[in-house]
Amino acid sequence: MSYLEEQGSMLQGPTVVERESSLLDDLVSKFEDRTAVIGIVGLGYVGLPLLLRYSYAGFRVIGFDIEQGKVDKLNNSESYIEHISEKSIAYARRNGSEASSDFSRASEVDAIIICVPTPLNAYREPDLSFILGTVEALVPHLRIGQVLSLESTTYPGTTDEELRPRIESKGFTVGEDIFLVFSPEREDPGNPNFKTRSIPKVCGGATPACCRAGIALYASAIDEVVPVSSTRAAELTKLLENIHRAVNIGLINEMKIIADRMNIDIYEVINAAATKPFGFTPYYPGPGLGGHCIPIDPFYLTWKARQFGLHTRFIELAGEINNDMPQWVVNKVASALNDRGRSVKGSKILILGIAYKKNVDDMRESPSVKLMEILRSKGAEIAYSDPHVPVFPKMREHHFDLESVDLTTEAIESYDLILLATNHSSFDYGLIQKHAKVIVDTRGVYPGHLHNVVKS
């Protein structure tokens, strides 16, 4: 390089590579010394624990949500999720964290982590409206030097094909001005063995620089970060985790139907098989799939695979089996009532447990609600008991004007049938079995062949 060329280069200022490195180094340093401000968008079962984790790690956090009720409760140190204590929220508030519905404040943060729902539409196709609406609300307020991470489960390519163009349409260059990553959520509400901090965090970046920014973001609050080569690899990792569960649950649900026809206790078989110290992992049947992930996520991959001319037969077969389980349970209910000279129509049926899994208040995609709707459509008089859900919540697709029934002796005796749908630990199963006319047990709570228990 000549002297004049060298002087011209100096006059032009830092190169793109130098500016990128400087921005990235500054950002990484902020995460390492805990001076970065973290933004969490979506304060539900994923976002709120993440907000609290970053607060405990020493960061100031701004939580964003479109529901003003959630924002107000958090700013008043109140919890709206059963397993999250108000004490932990109060701690975060004392340490400078807050909630806001004002998305213009996204310019104040150094990292934005998006944790919003990704449901299916009526045609079982991906509904990205929550993600895209969030990104479009954030983009006008982005600034150079931020990292944006998507945690919402979605199909491979979403981060590159949907988020990146929206960010770059505002003049930013991903990997130089803004660092974009995908890091799938791995929350398991109510699981006492794993917390946000101790669950390894997979992270893939849109560029190597993005991946470095994402690793720095999560390593500051999570014990182990697992980098992968791209956002697409990270997106597919989450789908594989959930499809693995969905397929194996579909298998065990089919085995339950076979065992029932052969008059064999499937739980006895599972427990015996589980004594094998290698090559077998126990999965347990139930009345259907629940939660936001397992019933939905496989269909994200099924939809995307069609764009590549692929038919996901194995995944779709498991989905069909799992989707049919509520109807199979209702048939067992009808049969149990028929054996006692009653029909479903006009019978009083109590559903035990309406959360999607034991010991939580999470109602997302709960199979109990599907059971209630089918039975109501057949003319049954429906009630429920769930200490974690004292009042049936407002839901987008389901409505019951009901409150949880206290399980007194008189209440139990008043029902024609009790359907055990979710096996909360707080239920007095001895009392229920003693006073119930008949129980349909979908969770294998009751052993053997009791006189008034029907396995389902």
187 with 286, same domain: the answer is no
- Residue 227 falls inside a structural domain: yes
- Residue 244 falls inside a structural domain: no
9 with 145, same domain: the answer is yes
Q: If DSSP states are collapsed to H, E and C, what string results for the chain? A: CCHHHHHHHHHCCCCHHHHHHHHHHHHHHHHHCCCCEEEEECCCCCHHHHHHHHHHCCCEEEEECCCHHHHHHHHCCCCCCCCCCHHHHHHHHHCCCEEECCHHHHHHCCEEEECCCCCECCCCCECCHHHHHHHHHHHHHCCCCEEEEECCCCCCCHHHHHHHHHHHCCCCCECCCEEEEECCCCCCCCCCCCCCCCCCEEEEECCHHHHHHHHHHHHCCCCCEEEECCHHHHHHHHHHHHHHHHHHHHHHHHHHHHHHHCCCCHHHHHHHHCCCCCCCCCCCCCCCCCCCCCCCHHHHHHHHHHCCCCCCHHHHHHHHHHHHHHHHHHHHHHHHHHCCCCCCCCCEEEEECCCCCCCCCCCCCCHHHHHHHHHHHCCCEEEEECCCCCECCCCCCCCCCCECCCCCHHHHHCCCEEEECCCCCCCCHHHHHHHCCCEEECCCCCCCCCCCEEEC
Domain span including residue 197: 3-234
Q: What confidence score (pLDDT) does residue 320 get?
A: 93
Instruction: Answer whether 62's CB lies under 8 Å from 111's CB.
Output: no
432-448 pLDDT, tens per residue? 999 999 999 999 999 87
310 with 261, same domain: the answer is yes
370 with 224, same domain: the answer is no
32 with 139, same domain: the answer is yes
User: Could you give the CA distance from residue 443 to residue 145 in angstroms, rounded to a whole number?
Assistant: 50
- Of the pLDDT bands very low, low, confident and very high (cuts 50, 70, 90), residue 14 is low
Region of 341 on the Ramachandran plot (φ > 0 left; ψ -120 to 50 alpha; else beta): left
389-410 pLDDT, tens per residue? 999 998 877 889 999 999 999 9
**Of the residues 234, 265, 290, the one at which a domain ends:** 234
In the predicted model, is pLDDT for residue 21 greater than 80?
no
Task: Provide the number of structural domains found in the chain.
Answer: 2
Tell me which residues are annotated as active site: 293
Residue 335 CA from chain centroid, whole number: 34
Amino acid at 44: G
- Residue 243 falls inside a structural domain: no
155-211 pLDDT, tens per residue? 999 999 999 999 999 999 999 999 999 999 998 887 888 899 999 999 999 999 999
- Residue 239 falls inside a structural domain: no
158 with 216, same domain: the answer is yes
Structure tokens given for 64: 């964003």
174-190 pLDDT, tens per residue? 999 999 999 999 988 87
Contacts with 324 (C-beta within 8 Å, 6 or more apart), sequence order: none
286-325 pLDDT, tens per residue? 999 988 788 888 999 999 999 999 999 999 999 999 999 9
Q: What is the pTM (predicted TM-score) of this model?
A: 0.90
> What does the pLDDT average to over 246-268?
95
176 with 217, same domain: the answer is yes
Instruction: Answer whether 253's CB lies under 8 Å from 202's CB.
Output: no
Instruction: Answer whether 452's CB lies under 8 Å from 430's CB.
Output: no
- Residue 284 falls inside a structural domain: yes
- Residue 412 falls inside a structural domain: yes
> Which residue is it, tokens 């014990």?
223
Q: What confidence score (pLDDT) does residue 197 get?
A: 94
Q: What confidence score (pLDDT) does residue 187 get?
A: 85
217 with 292, same domain: the answer is no
44 with 185, same domain: the answer is yes
In the predicted model, is pLDDT for residue 13 greater than 90?
no
149 with 271, same domain: the answer is no
**Average pLDDT in the chain:** 93
- Residue 45 falls inside a structural domain: yes
228 with 280, same domain: the answer is no
The CATH number covering residue 131 comes to 3.40.50.720
70-100 pLDDT, tens per residue? 999 999 999 999 999 999 999 999 999 999 9
- Residue 160 falls inside a structural domain: yes
333 with 188, same domain: the answer is no
